[in-house]
Amino acid sequence: MTSQLFRQRRERLLEQMPDKALAIIPAASEVTRSRDTEYPFRQASDYWYLTGFNEPDGLLVLVKEGETGKSLLFNLPKDPEMETWTGIRLGQEKAPEVLGVDQAFPLQQIDEQLSDLLGEASEVWLPLDNLALYQNYLNWRQGVRRKRKRSACLPDRLVDVASALAEMRLIKSDEEIALMQKAVDISAAGHFRAMKASRPGAYEYQLQAELEHEFAIQGAAAPAYASIVGSGANACVLHYIANQDALKAGDLVLIDAGAEYQGYAGDITRTFPVDGHFTEAQKQLYELVLKANEEAIRQAGPGTTLEALHQSVLRVLTQGLLELGILQGELETLLEAEAYKPYFMHGTSHWLGLDVHDVGIYRIEGSARPLQPGMVFTIEPGLYFPPDCEEVDPKWRGLGIRIEDDVLITKQGCKVLSDQVPKTVAGIESLMRGADAAA
């Protein structure tokens, strides 16, 4: 993406701010893994969204001036000795040209500059959940008082800049949709590869390695979240990431994994038989979850809500559990009593974007939010019967199934970004036999 796109986003945020308001958006910092090694660096999503700049420890400050405003960047200074170890830093001189910001200052000037800026500000837009930044903000306020004494005039209103950015991030632009499709395509290729590599005796971590190999080969910086590879009853642990057990013939394996591409997350779940053949019981349960997934996708479009999709999933699953004899009673009564809940305990959807559980509020003034073109989210019904759930027939115990797709709302309806990964019983069995995936 070009610096022009990031500049437009900063301008759209500035448009929402009143005259002389100040917005402060911090970069992420390196995080220690152990002793003197760090986790791979991941930029803060909001900072990335507004700058496209991947160095740690910066601060973006937007200053509204009349109808327009300016972007100031505080970033790491050039340091040839450090750069020998950790890589080239952009520095201040080139930042305006490369990032399109109006001015850049070395990090060590933050305290002085922010106190000056605060002394002129009408109100301040901060991410309100960031305690460390708030502590700095208090210090900058003290700085204003120290400098200006009784003539100090401090802003008396804080606004949550993260909420404003969440609204912007919730609706994806065409450029973002292209990046998300790429993230999902890479995720899909990883799932293909893992499915093809599945065989009794392989270990869950080996399927994880197949997935993540494909992510890396295709240029994804990292998995978007810890890959879940759960075979047998491990599939009943929703966020199982130990991935340490051997795959057994006759078991299912559930893989919930996605690649991160240029900051955007894919998030796909498929459940398939270790040896490529569903048993009759597995097939019955699998096709019920698939029916719920497909019904929610059929209903997804502008104007409907994630809550409505969730309700349709609950209806399909409960009806199916009745037909399989797992639940007994009358459909409406069972829905009312949430009888499905021991076996389907999570939501159907979450927003997807720069974060796998992306930002954006789900309800507006107490009502479910209508879906709009440009929103991207998951549809991921599941059914889980842990080995100790004695109230069900033994043939269901130890089965965990989830089918998750990534869905974009369009003007006409929706587009399933992840529909290249097979999910019908026939499609999965054929892929695993090595036949053409489209067959």
What is the nearest approach in angstroms of Mn ion to the Cβ of residue 239?
10
Whether 213 is catalytic: no
Residue 378 engages Mn ion in binding (rule: CB under 5 A): yes
Residue 397 burial (CB count, 10 A): 17
Q: Is 380 a catalytic residue?
A: yes
Is-contact 80 61, C-beta < 8 A? Answer: no
Say if strands 103-106 and 68-75 run parallel, antiparallel, or are unpaired: parallel
* Residue 69 beta carbon to Mn ion: minimum distance, rounded to whole angstroms: 37
The first and second tokens of residue 62, run together, are 């937007």
Contact 16, 121 (CB under 8 A): no
- Determine which one of 35, 36, 81, 330 is catalytic: 36
Complex with Mn ion: residue 267 or 355, whichever CB lies closer: 267
Q: Is 239 a catalytic residue?
A: yes
Minimum CB separation of residue 387 from Mn ion in Å reads 24
Using CB under 5 A as the binding rule, whether residue 214 contacts Mn ion is answered as: no
Can 191 be counted among the known catalytic residues? no
Q: Tell the smallest beta-carbon distance from residue 356 to Mn ion (Å).
A: 7
Q: Which of 55, 245, 355, 404 is catalytic?
A: 404
Minimum separation from the CB atom of position 358 to Mn ion (A): 10
Stretch in the footprint of Mn ion (CB under 5 A) among 66-74, 238-246, 304-312, 370-378: 370-378
Segment contacting Mn ion by CB under 5 A, of 145-153, 206-214, 289-297, 373-381:
373-381
Which amino acid appears at position 170 of this protein?
L
**36 flagged as catalytic:** yes
In angstroms, the CA 158 to CA 178 distance is 35
205 as an active site residue: the answer is no
Side chain identity, residue 223: P
The three-state (H, E, C) secondary structure of 62-125, written as one string: EEEECCEEEEEEEECCCCHHHHHHHCCCCCCCCHHHHHCCCEEEEHHHHHHHHHHHHCCCCCEE
Stretch touching Mn ion by CB under 5 A, among 152-160, 191-199, 340-348, 374-382: 374-382
What one-character DSSP code corresponds to residue 30? -
Q: Which of 7, 169, 193, 402 is catalytic?
A: 402
In whole angstroms, give the CA distance from residue 339 to residue 336. 8
- Single residue of 55, 212, 260, 267 touching Mn ion by CB under 5 A: 267
**Alpha helix positions (H), 171-279:** 174-197, 204-217
Count of chain residues binding Mn ion (CB under 5 A)? 2
| H/E segment holding residue 159 | strand 158-160
Q: Answer yes or no: 384 catalytic.
A: yes
Minimum CB distance to Mn ion smaller for 89 or for 350? 350
185 a catalytic residue:
no
Total number of residues shown for the chain: 439
What amino acid positions are annotated as catalytic residues?
A: 36, 239, 256, 267, 346, 350, 357, 380, 384, 402, 404
Q: Which residues bind Mn ion (CB under 5 A)?
A: 267, 378
